[in-house]
Each structure stands twice: as C-alpha cells, then as structure tokens.
Amino acid sequence: MKRRHANARISWGEWKFIPSDKYHPIKTKGLVGEAYEQAVEWRKQSLRYENNLYAVNITEVNDETHGEMWQWLSIKRLDREIIRDWRHLQRIKTELCGAEREAIEIFPPESQLVDTANQFHLWVLPEGRFLSVGFRYGRSVGDALQAEHYGARQRAFELEDTEDRTANVVFTASDIQEKRPDWSVAECTEFLFGLQQLLGEGMRDRGWDIINAFINKPKKEE
C-alpha cells in the first residue's frame, strides 16, 4: 500500500472522540516497568480526539503554584510526519479548547529537553486567565496583499481558515480593491483598519453592510 505524501492535500474533517480502548495498543518496545505503567495511566486519564489529519490527547494538569487546572494537548499527525504549521496548532487549540483560551508552547532549557518523536505539545491556560506577555492590542489578521504593502510576506488563507473561527479574515484589502480598483493598497488597508476599530466584534455581522454603504462613494479629490 502506497504511503500518502505528507504534503498531499487532506481535508481537515470533523473531530471525533476516540475511547481509550479503541485506538491502537501502546507499543511495548522500549517501555518496561514503571514507564509502561505511566503510559497506560496517561492514556486512561486523557481524552483522545482525531480528525482527518491529527490525533490529540487532552489531559488535565495541575498548576500547583496557582492551584489551577490547565489542559495539556499532546498532538501528532496521523501519518507521524512533523508539524510546523502554526495555523494548524492555533486551530486545534481553538476547536478543542475554545476560541478565547490562551495556550503556550514551551522551548525548555537544554537540561530539560524532551525530543523523542514527531509529537508536539500545547498547554492551555484556564478560561479567563492570560499571560502577562504577548500581543494585547486586539485582533490583527491580514492577507498577502496587505503584507506586501509593508515589505513582508504572508501566505494566502485557505477557505477553511476563514470560516466561523476567524470570520474577520474574510475582510481583506484584496476584497476591497476588487470593488474599488482605483483605491491603493494603503487606502484599502486604512479603510479596513478603521472599520475594525469601529465595529470590533461586530465586524462579523455588520462588516459588509458598512463596506457596501461606503464602497461606492467616489474617492475624495485631493
């Protein structure tokens, strides 16, 4: 049977819960005694979800410093290839733990390094709690045209990336410029930025109404 290439296009699919006794047995090679018992116990304590691309085990872990429970996501591709698509990790966090939950990936000191398989890990903070570092000026998602204007590069968003989770992505400079080719990229970007500041979360419901109200207005004469 031919193995499907890691970069072949596979649809995301729906998440399915997999009971611990229904997925492949723990491989015993190299696991003996306490290590094997720990692997068995971890499986019993975690919830397993799979879609067409990924398998994710979710385990509750105790933050003893703050007395709170975090969620540990152990993530691997079903074909066991590497993961380095940040959008996929973000989407997994959003769909399995919540859109407004914050998560971290740890890059440890070399003395604590764990690197034994193509398996990746996120730790999700309790609901309503956020780190004291990070970007804190609201949502900012741009398309390739906007990035090019600022001398950067951005890969295009696939249709799946613009569904309910990231509705604001639908409104891009490219969309505006298709309707108003006489506007520059800078003008399209400025228009969208002002619209997002005005509407905030209401962009999902009212964005196109306001765009359509303004889009046919003639460009101001200098």
Structure confidence by residue, pLDDT tens digits, 101-141: 999 999 999 999 999 899 999 999 999 999 999 888 777 78
Q: For 50-56, what is the mean pLDDT?
A: 95
How many structural domains does the chain have?
Answer: 2
Pick from 218, 215, 196: which is nearest to 206 by CA? 196
Q: Is it the case that residue 56 has pLDDT exceeding 70? A: yes
Structure confidence by residue, pLDDT tens digits, 7-35: 457 889 999 988 877 765 556 556 667 77
For residue 110, give its domain range. Answer: 16-124
pTM score: 0.67
Q: For 81-93, what is the mean pLDDT?
A: 93
> At which of 96, 124, 152 does a domain end?
124
Identify whether residues 117 and 189 lie together within a single domain: no
Q: Are 48 and 20 in contact (CB under 8 A)?
A: yes
Task: State the Cα–Cα distance between residues 103 and 61, nearest whole angstrom.
Answer: 13
Structure confidence by residue, pLDDT tens digits, 186-222: 677 677 666 666 665 555 455 556 666 665 555 555 4
Q: For 48-72, what is the mean pLDDT?
A: 92
Task: State the Cα–Cα distance between residues 31 and 39, nearest whole angstrom.
Answer: 8
Identify whether residues 31 and 113 lie together within a single domain: yes
Residue 210 has a CB neighbour count (10 Å cut-off) of 14
106 contact partners, CB below 8 Å, separation of at least 6: 121, 123
Structure tokens at 149: 């204007």
> At which of 73, 90, 124 does a domain end?
124
Identify whether residues 155 and 103 lie together within a single domain: no
